[in-house]
Structure 1
Amino acid sequence: MPSQSLIYPDSRGGIHPGTHPSYGALSSLMKDNIYWVGNQGFIYTSPWVVTQNTARHSAVVLLSATDEPMELEVAGCRMRHSAFAVSPLVARTLRARNIGLVSVNISPFHLDYRAFRRFSDTGITPLAREKYADLDPQLLRAYEGQTSLSEADALFHAVVERTVAQLPIFYRRSSHTELVLQIMESHPLCSLSELSKQLGLSNSRTTHLFSSAVGLSLKSYMFWYKSATAANLLLADNSLTEVAHNAGFADSAHLSRTWRNKFGTTPSYIRNDRCVQLFR
């Protein structure tokens, strides 16, 4: 889609990151949207995201629905572009003010997750925005909260496919890779010894295979799974204390610190229906 004016009135002159939240500053104009596409990941859209040094286990594709540039900063390197791929566990600052941000978050369960492992010194690479041009109507509808969950699922996979085609190819799927993913999807809290037994391999070989197959160490994966469990429980409207306890966090304060480090906001934000519309 050719570059165009902002969809909604430009409110940047007078809104300053230091005095406004990371999310929700423009919720009176447009709500954030979360499209939950099962264990593969989710799509998040927002007219305003300004976060400092957040890092998450999901791989992320950031797209501007309007083709206006966002700003990413990592390790002192600042980039302005309308499309980015972000490797897992990369701490970055994001400034996306009223540009129609569409954030596609890919979970470790996705077969192409490994393609997003650090592919540059910064772990961030600009993408060719024109590669998504045929998806512009769907991206805009998703941003406006006008997309069904099935349409969001199709959009999610289309974005991942176009992104992987632009990334360096340095891995191959194998029967072992797919078996590891199948086991972890069926038994997500499978221990190292249990996984080794099912694979018929030593613990050390299984540890190496897991990291190669999934793209995360087993320890990092377990931490991601706790966070994903917490997200599901939050969306089911459990109390913060119940969520922390049932997801394996020490307490609600531990959960809140972890959530802020990952997303730059409190866990209760995604349940604020004045700012967020949920599709699941």
Structure 2
Amino acid sequence: MNRLELGDLSVILVEPSLTQRHIIDGYLSGLGISKIETFESGEAALGAMRRTPPDLVISTLYLPDMTGTDLVTTMRNEPLLVDTAYILISSETRFRFLDPIRQAGAIAILPKPFSEDDLKIALKSTVDYIETPEIHLDNIDTESLRILVVDDSQMARNHIRRLLEAMGMEQITEAENGSEGAQQVNDHYFDLVITDYNMPEMNGQEFIDYIRNNSLQPTIPILMITSESNQSRLAAVQQSGVSAICDKPFEPIILKRYLEKTLADENN
């Protein structure tokens, strides 16, 4: 079977600004994408998605009838659209507005203004999300690795699981928050923990502190994948002994590099 190409993508674009619609539509067309439907409102776009789910939805944050957060949250709560790829394009920079989008599993968040090359990178990540590429980790016995993935976003866990499975990992356990993750660490042995930062009940910082100070596996390597941008919080996480921190959203090749470094350091 031939691999999905950029030109094969079907896209719904939700943007109330005519000028911005023309710019984004022009970039998409320039990258060879011809199956593009444009809408000014979230409800109109949702109606079209429900009739024919697209491969990708691109929207701005502020729509006339809802926010991009409302749009993607609605998508994630509908079985037909739960796994549909989503990209946000926005001039918004405040964490409290962008983090819910990241937590909902956005493929990318592009700032305004952005270039066609920026969009191309995001679209390639979309293709990787839809058709997870086969990825090989160098000098690592992936089949024997036992991995714990801790994230309150089901879509984020699904995406990480698919990537890990594409790397040949089969023994993957999931937890919805740090509290559940701590229980898993108490009950089972793991070779690697992958965790988010912002989670209910017990956040990533508290979870890492628990592993390092209270568990029977205090030296287990921990990779944090997070949208957290507060540098003081991230510095505290580093001091807690996290092995690496990876930004969310991320590209598959980035996860591969972090895993190779983290696991290689553990074996040296």
TM-score (norm 2): 0.28
Give the structure with the higher percent strand.
1
- Which structure's relative contact order is higher, taking Cα pairs within 8 Å and 6+ residues apart? 1
Q: Give 1 or 2: higher helix fraction.
A: 2
What TM-score does the superposition give when structure 1 sets the normalisation length?
A: 0.27
